[in-house]
Amino acid sequence: MITWKNMDTLASYQALKATKPVALAAAMSGENGAERVRSYTTPMGAGMDFNYGARPVDETILEALAKFAEEAQLTEKFAALYNGEVINTGEKRLVLHHLCRGQLGGDVIADGVNKREFYLGEQKKITEFVNKVHAGQITNAAGEKFTTVVQIGIGGSDLGPRAIYLALENWAKVEGCLKMKAEFISNVDPDDAAGVLSKIDVAHSLFVLVSKSGTTLETLTNESFVKDALIKAGLNPSNHMVAVTSETSPLAKSSDYLAAFFMDDYIGGRYSSSSGVGGCVLSLAFGPEVFAQFLDGAAEADELAKNADIRKNPALLDALIGVYERNVLGYPTTAVLPYSQALSRFPAHLQQLDMESNGKSVNRFGEPVNYATGPVIFGEPGTNGQHSFYQLLHQGTDIIPLQFVGFKNSQMGSDVVIQGSTSQQKLCANVAAQIMAFACGKEDTNLNKKFEGGRPSSIIIGEKLTPAALGALLAHFENKVMYQGFAWNLNSFDQEGVQLGKVLAKKVLAHDTDGALKVYSDLLNI
């Protein structure tokens, strides 16, 4: 039987706190360090490996983490989630995004519907629609093919799909499967929509409106912005728009759209990239076969996330080490540092995934917790970040754990040898050097040039950033975040923290304000 308890009530957590910290600089030095890096690695699916050699753990701490995972019933809670128990206690909902990309457990029946079959059915509808668009069977009014797809959505309807598109755009060009250029409109700032509209040919553009409720203020505002542009161009908006929404939303059966594809309340926005939220735009951009490869990679990582052995479960292991860093070592921030320009927006997606899921100060029963929970997440691609915030990472007063991502080969294959090495080799040399510099530091009598070291990191390594590798990468972090939520006894699947600002914004727009809120409204000329 599963029990949900605060972390600080568990004997295994108290034992974890009593373990002796690792002297990371010493542990990573010499042949002992080499053997540590070789042995502290585990596969994470789609040819990717999770290496935690430079994280602040040893055999004693790993054993303590395994006992904590066992007492906290972490893999049992994951199984309860994918088998269809009500895990989102705040909204009394199931959490089923895994069913979009595999069958981890038994059939999940909810509301009288087999949810696996429902999600696969919507994927099939999207595939059929996309194939007709690519074949020129669905066209604009002039009978011409659509060449651009524009996603209109915000939060999880934008961040994940946008990050994935950008990650695969150059790969698709090389592979000859970039079917349509994709653009994204998310911000209610009119400059966002106007900027996108100014650089596309609206007559050959298909717009994907994504809103589960059909009432999202920013999304509906941008939809009106786009419809106005289409009308001004002499076009019928209903010939250029599709909806991704729920079956009960006002968008579901509207004649304003060429087609509507459905999701439900059991797939949260920040976990929705493998549903129709990502599936429609990414299939239009790259083809359904590429999106299927992405889902297959995610499914591989999901299977590994079921393993009760923490050393064979990279998502759980990453989560547990993160809990140790946050709650025992007291590190409040984590940096995600992909050494791949294609992953330029991946840290932004992880910010929402992690901070919206576990940025909570009450447990899943609405009771205050007495320990730190989700860390602050930030990041930029290497090597750009090295010339930006790495100064603080190396010599600042806070120790910030680092999560590197690197690939042995570039996506496009175009490179040049300069000073005896290629650009890709230089990129990989930088990430290897940074890991060791952070871990071991450098002694110097000039304190301005001294590096303390002891700064922990892990690295996810792959051969090349492909759709399958990207799927595994996404699923790894999704499962890591969920495992940390279980460890902290949080509900990682609601987001009440985004609601208050929305309510007050509506009051401002209705001119129903007083006090300081009215003054701010007046200052902004609302």
Q: Which residue has the tokens 């809120």?
A: 517
Give 372-382 pLDDT, tens digit per residue. Answer: 999 999 999 99
Tokens standing for 410?
């570039």
Phi, psi of 521 (to 5 degrees): -60, -40
Which ranges in 388-466 belong to alpha helices (H)? 390-395, 423-440
Q: What is the pLDDT of residue 498?
A: 87
Three-state secondary structure readout of 278-344: HHHHHHHHHCHHHHHHHHHHHHHHHHHCCCCCHHHCHHHHHHHHHHHHHHHCCCCEEEEEEECHHHC
E strand or H helix that includes residue 42: strand 41-45
Per-residue model confidence (pLDDT) at position 221: 94
Distance of CA 345 to the CA centre of its chain: 10
Note if the bond before 383 is cis, omega within 30 degrees.
yes
Q: What is the mean pLDDT of residues 258-264?
A: 95
Beta-bridged to residue 336, according to DSSP, are 403
Residue 363, pLDDT score: 97
Residues 492, 195: Cα–Cα separation, whole Å? 35
- In this prediction, residue 176 carries a pLDDT of 97
Q: How many helices (H) and strands (E) does the chain have?
A: 18, 15
Distances (CA, A) of 475 to 70, 85, 344: 22, 20, 18
Query: For 166-198, what is each residue's pLDDT tens digit?
Result: 999 999 999 999 999 999 999 999 999 999 999
What's the rounded mean pLDDT across residues 495-511? Answer: 90
Confidence of residue 215 (pLDDT cuts 50, 70, 90): confident
A 10 A CB-CB count for 109 gives: 12
Residues marked as catalytic: 356, 387, 502
User: In the prediction, which pLDDT does 297 show?
Assistant: 98
Is residue 69 within 8 A of residue 439, CB to CB? The reply is: no
Flag whether pLDDT at 502 surpasses 90. no
CA distances from 388 to 44, 295, 346, 522 (A): 30, 34, 18, 37
Instruction: Give residue 501's pLDDT band: very low, low, confident or very high (50, 70, 90).
Output: confident
- Percent of the chain residues topping a pLDDT of 70: 100
User: What are the tens digits of pLDDT across the range 20-72?
Assistant: 999 999 999 999 999 999 999 999 999 999 999 999 999 999 999 999 999 99
Using CA of residue 367, residue 371, residue 372, residue 374, what is the dihedral sign?
Answer: negative
Across all residues in the chain, what is the average pLDDT? Answer: 96
Beta strands (DSSP E) in 327-478 are 333-339, 376-378, 402-407, 417-418, 421-422, 457-462
Q: Does pLDDT of 499 surpass 90? A: no
Rounded Cα distance, 304 and 299, in Å = 9
